[in-house]
Amino acid sequence: MIPLLVLGIPGDGVTAMMLGGFLIHGLSAGPLLFVKNADVVYGIFAACMICSLFMLIIEFFGIKAFVQLLRVPKHILMPLILVLCCVGAYATNNRIFDVQSIILFGVVGYLYHKFRLPTTPFVLCFLIGEMVETYLRRGIMQYKSFGAFFKRPIFDAFFFIAIGVVVWSIYKEWKMYKAKKQAEA
């Protein structure tokens, strides 16, 4: 929550979804959020404190019931959860499109889990991709070319840091894959 509220950078998938909610409601996360929309920030702080209190009470008194839920077989529990999600999605706007959307994104989430891909980049791209595209288009129209971005030292620094992180991640994965192949041989 702190990086999201202070810098406007989501730290994980949940805060990325919160950032999407902020954008839908016309709020820009970051330092100006405290100045322009202090009531929202105080509301978030109050909601976090109240949620923590309610979670403590509910978990303390419901722990025995929650343990019993673990005994329900997965072949019964999973379809029940799917039906409740579909009913909730349909009840929100009375549209079948919402049900199709949760099923599609459920399949996408399952594939991400199956192939051990991180979901946070997907959620971030889905939520803020349009905004990034808009600002990139504005920047290119203002400077008449993409190459003009490279004349700015701050852009250069962040661009090369991003490239370095991507290259380092690929190198690390390749090294782990190579070590795994050697261990199998």
Nearest to 30 by CA among 41, 14, 39, 21: 41
Sketch the domain layout of the chain as residue ranges: 2-142
In tens, the pLDDT along 76-120 reads 999 999 999 999 999 988 999 999 999 998 999 899 899 988 887
pLDDT score of 54 more than 90: yes
**Separation between Cα atoms, residue 175 and residue 181, nearest integer Å:** 10
Overall pTM surpassing 0.75 (yes/no): no
Nearest to 77 by CA among 66, 88, 89: 66
pLDDT score of 124 more than 80: no
pLDDT score of 29 more than 90: no
Whether the Cβ atoms of residue 128 and residue 20 lie closer than 8 Å to each other: yes
